[in-house]
Amino acid sequence: MKPAAALLVFLFSAYFVNSRRLYKPDHVGIIGGHSIAIENAPYVVSLRLNGSYHWCGGSIIHEQFVLTAAHCMVPHREFKVRVGADKVDEGGKLYDVEKKIIHPKYNNLTSDYDICILKLNESLSFGPKVNKIALNDRKVKLRSRVMLNATGWGYTQPEGKVSQYLRQVTIPVVETFLCQLIYGLNNRITHRMFCAGGNGKDTCSGDSGGPITKDNIQVGVTSFGSGCGKIPGVYAKISVFNKWIKKTIEES
Ligand SMILES: *[C@@H]1O[C@H](CO)[C@@H](O)[C@H](O)[C@H]1NC(C)=O
Ligand SMILES: *[C@@H]1O[C@H](CO)[C@@H](O)[C@H](O)[C@H]1NC(C)=O
Ligand SMILES: *[C@@H]1O[C@H](CO)[C@@H](O)[C@H](O)[C@H]1NC(C)=O
Ligand SMILES: *[C@@H]1O[C@H](CO)[C@@H](O)[C@H](O)[C@H]1NC(C)=O
């Protein structure tokens, strides 16, 4: 390959973005993190496709409502939510999803407004392993290099035998302009998004919809990235959606 062609391939590869839900159940999970007990993040849930296998993450924001990413929803499929478990496939308690409310402005081509609220079939009882998380109302400023926690389940190897424990990684906010340069200056990174991590610490497939937090306040929802662990991941910005979330919960 000529150097110019190689450079073009390299540049183009940065534009090849993937959502972070699972395409198959054996993708890698949180990159560069460590396992944690559910008591350290009792607001984290596993969203199960067809009620059977882990598909996306989510967070408890109210006794009967869970927040996740809009791109995690697949039409004509049934979802269940597992709460209170550190192991992805056992323990805790399963609930049916009674209602899915995708943000009306969600764009499945650009991933803009990538947020969705799920109403559970009954109210949760809160305790050490099941609890809600507060949402950022602009109190937490997402300045460059502010450290955040990303939490989710996922396999630690692409194939084969895996640990299925909940994992967490601490990642820095990456300045939006820098992130725009990395993803291409085509408005891919909108005001509804922010970037964080990369360089060996990142979220990956299967972490979509899961919470990004700072000191027990949720500031983001895992949305998409290009590859895993090399360049920053992209997250939906909670502060932009705060009003819509409150209103939707009140009306549902
Ligand atoms: C999920 O359910 C749908 C419809 O009931 C079915 O077509 C599909 O094959 C199921 N997917 C899996 C992975 O079980
Ligand atoms: C809610 O869904 C769960 C899981 O399918 C089920 O066990 C439970 O009985 C349901 N609760 C109600 C009130 O229907
Ligand atoms: C994306 O959204 C458009 C319009 O809302 C819809 O027609 C299309 O089927 C969607 N594509 C996917 C892959 O969900
Ligand atoms: C990340 O989570 C750990 C506990 O799992 C906590 O000690 C730490 O303060 C958290 N960091 C941030 C930035 O929230």
CATH topology of domain 42-132+241-251: Thrombin, subunit H (2.40.10)
> Is the distance from the beta carbon of residue 224 to the nearest atom of ligand 2 less than 6 Å?
no
Q: pLDDT for 135-160, tens place per residue? A: 999 899 999 999 999 999 865 543 43
Structure tokens belonging to residue 9 = 């391939």
Instruction: Look at residue 247 and give its three-state secondary structure.
Output: helix
| Per-residue pLDDT at 186 exceeds 60 | yes
- Which atom of ligand 1 is nearest the CA belonging to 50? 1
**Residue 154: its pLDDT value, please?**
60
> Which residue has its alpha carbon closest to ligand 2 atom 9?
95
Phi and psi dihedrals of 239, rounded to 5? -60, -30
How many of the other CB atoms lie within 10 Å of CB of 220? 28
| Per-residue pLDDT at 2 exceeds 50 | no
> Is the distance from the beta carbon of residue 108 to the nearest atom of ligand 1 less than 6 Å?
no
Q: How many CA within 13 A on the CB side of residue 218?
A: 31
Q: Active-site residues: which are they?
A: 71, 114, 208
Q: pLDDT for 218-229, tens place per residue? A: 999 999 888 777
> Is the distance from the beta carbon of residue 40 to the nearest atom of ligand 4 less than 6 Å?
yes
> Is the distance from the beta carbon of residue 213 to the nearest atom of ligand 4 less than 6 Å?
yes
| Per-residue pLDDT at 15 exceeds 80 | no
Closest ligand to Cα 77? 1
CA separation for the pair 184, 15 (Å, rounded): 7
| Per-residue pLDDT at 111 exceeds 70 | yes
| Domain 3-34+134-239 indexed as CATH 2.40.10.10 | yes
Q: What are the structural domain ranges in the chain? A: 3-34+134-239, 42-132+241-251
Q: Which of 64, 122, 124 to mutate to test the pocket of ligand 2 (most atoms within 8 A of CB)?
A: 122
> Is the distance from the beta carbon of residue 78 to the nearest atom of ligand 2 less than 6 Å?
no
How many of the other CB atoms lie within 10 Å of CB of 88? 25
Q: pLDDT for 194-250, tens place per residue? A: 999 988 888 877 789 999 999 999 999 999 888 777 889 999 999 999 999 999 999
Closest ligand to Cα 41? 4
